């Protein structure tokens, strides 16, 4: 089997499995008809949409399959960052020491999935909202801006998210 065809089959299988798992969760039914309908529907939708679910250029397992322990560490760090940042924003709002800015910077993450995760992690952290993600360029509204220099702003905004995500998808 050609590698291109094998990769397409792997992408379709992963898409079908995720869709079938979602079907099982949302229907919450173990009837034979429901199980068969979900399987057939998941395969049909996966055959049509696997190219959108996992992009063809993400052709390595490492680009979309995270390392489980590193992912758990990243999620714990994200939760900690969300709480720590919420207290910092609360203090800044109470004291009136906010300095909102829109900053532009680049990420060194290679995977599209990792870039999407860092953009969402930045948005989930209070005081920052990702406005745009274009290839490796991020545009972020930063409520507590301390610098206008793009590299310094990028280092402060993305913080340790980027280095932790490199461990998750490297």
pLDDT in tens, 55-94: 666 555 555 677 889 889 999 999 999 999 999 999 999 9
- pLDDT-derived band at 141 (thresholds 50, 70, 90) equals very high
User: What CA–CA distance (Å, rounded) separates 68 from 64?
Assistant: 12
Please give the Cα distance from 25 to 34 (Å, whole number): 12
Domain boundaries along the sequence of the chain: 3-59, 65-168
* Segment 10-34, tens digit of pLDDT: 778 888 888 899 888 888 888 889 8
What pLDDT was estimated at residue 47? 87
Per DSSP, helices labelled H in 28-109 are 32-53, 61-64, 68-95
pTM, two decimals, is 0.69
């Amino acid at each position: 089997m050609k590698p291109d065809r094998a990769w397409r089959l792997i992408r379709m299988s992963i898409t079908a499995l995720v869709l079938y798992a979602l079907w099982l969760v949302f229907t919450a039914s173990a009837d034979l008809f429901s199980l068969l309908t979900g399987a057939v529907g998941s395969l049909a939708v996966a055959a049509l949409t696997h190219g959108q679910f996992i992009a063809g250029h993400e052709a390595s397992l490492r680009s979309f399959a995270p390392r489980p322990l590193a992912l758990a560490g990243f999620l714990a760090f994200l939760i900690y960052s969300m709480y720590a940042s919420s207290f910092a924003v609360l203090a800044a709002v109470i004291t009136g020491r906010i300095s909102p800015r829109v900053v532009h910077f680049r990420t060194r993450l290679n995977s599209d999935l990792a870039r999407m995760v860092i953009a969402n992690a930045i948005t989930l952290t209070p005081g920052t909202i990702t406005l745009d993600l274009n290839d490796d360029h991020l545009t972020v509204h930063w409520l507590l801006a301390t610098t206008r220099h793009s590299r310094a702003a990028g280092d402060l905004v993305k913080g340790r998210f980027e280095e932790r995500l490199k461990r998750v998808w490297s």
